[in-house]
């Protein structure tokens, strides 16, 4: 799968995805990630990507021309949908990530300043995606979240693909309590069932203790968590 990112700070992406699961997938060629400098798609000597908003108001607005030009140049290489990272967009969920993982690629436009000229949304974007109900300084960090969530669902990215079914928001809801050695630490013990070797009982325990998520992101346990 190919990811193309349009940003005025394309250098932010390489350090984040240099290592880890996504970094190894990039090295093996399972994924492609290309970060494009929006300023390269300008035509003036100042490489201007923003201007004052019509109607007045604080801040600056990203101009439509460079964004259209950048995406037009990418489209022959990436037939996937164009996504805008916007706080009012569709909330990025695991189900949405699975849907996006079926695309041949994704073109992600990262806004800055007071936003992007709305003609980009009207005439270019296929979807608007949000990572939560809060405001960040730009779309780069949300784009990184999107890439990480989608990329790990692709074949060959995660080493043990069976582990994807045990992920948070997988088949076991929002995940379940996890433990490792030692079996006792500062008076807190690992539940006996997890040490029993009874895989059916362990599976039942995990399902009984699977966490769910309420609207607004508050995490709950379906049963009271215990260390006994």
Report CA 149 to chain centroid distance, whole Å.
Answer: 4
Structure tokens at 183: 């079996």
Does the annotation mark 79 as catalytic?
no
In this structure, are strands 2-7 and 105-109 parallel, antiparallel, or unpaired? parallel
Q: Where are the beta strands (DSSP E) in 17-120?
A: 32-37, 50-51, 61-62, 82-91, 105-109
The residue annotated as part of the active site, out of 167, 177, 189, 207, is 167
| Known catalytic residue at 152 | yes
**Residue 90 among the catalytic residues:** no
Cα 137 from Cα 17, distance rounded (Å): 20
Q: Are β-strands 82-91 and 32-37 bridged in parallel, bridged antiparallel, or unpaired?
A: unpaired
Give the active site residue among 53, 64, 81, 87.
87
Write down the catalytic residue from 37, 65, 99, 114. Answer: 114
Active site residue 182: no
d(CA 131, CA 85): 8
Long-range contacts of 94-98 (CB under 8 A, 24+ apart): 94/149, 94/167, 94/169, 94/170, 96/129, 97/146, 97/149, 97/150, 97/153, 98/153
Q: Which residue in the list 112, 152, 206, 211 is annotated as catalytic?
A: 152
User: Which helix (H) or strand (E) element contains residue 155?
Assistant: none
Q: How far apart are CA 109 and CA 39, in angstroms?
A: 13
Q: What one-character DSSP code corresponds to residue 164?
A: G
Catalytic residues: 87, 114, 152, 167
């Amino acid at each position: 799968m190919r990811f193309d990112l349009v940003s005025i700070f394309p250098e932010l992406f390489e350090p984040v995805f240099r290592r880890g699961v996504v970094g190894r997938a990039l090295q093996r060629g399972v994924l492609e990630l290309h970060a494009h400098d929006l300023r390269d798609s300008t035509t003036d000597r100042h490489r201007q990507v923003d201007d004052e908003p019509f109607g007045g108001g604080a801040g600056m607005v990203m101009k439509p021309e460079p964004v259209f030009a950048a995406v037009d140049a990418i489209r022959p290489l990436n037939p996937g949908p164009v996504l805008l990272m916007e706080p009012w967009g569709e909330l990025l969920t695991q189900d949405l990530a699975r849907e996006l993982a079926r695309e041949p690629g994704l073109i992600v436009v990262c806004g800055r300043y007071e936003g992007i000229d709305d003609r980009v949304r009207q005439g270019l974007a296929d979807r608007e995606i949000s990572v939560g109900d809060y405001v960040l300084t730009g779309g780069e960090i949300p784009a990184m979240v999107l890439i990480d969530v989608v990329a790990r669902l692709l074949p060959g990215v995660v080493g043990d693909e069976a582990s994807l079914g045990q992920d948070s928001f997988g088949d076991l809801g929002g995940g379940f309590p996890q433990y490792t050695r030692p079996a006792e630490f500062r008076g807190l013990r690992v539940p006996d069932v997890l040490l029993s070797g009874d895989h059916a009982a362990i599976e039942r325990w995990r399902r009984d203790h699977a966490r769910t998520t309420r609207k607004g992101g508050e995490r709950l346990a379906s049963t009271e968590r215990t260390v006994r």
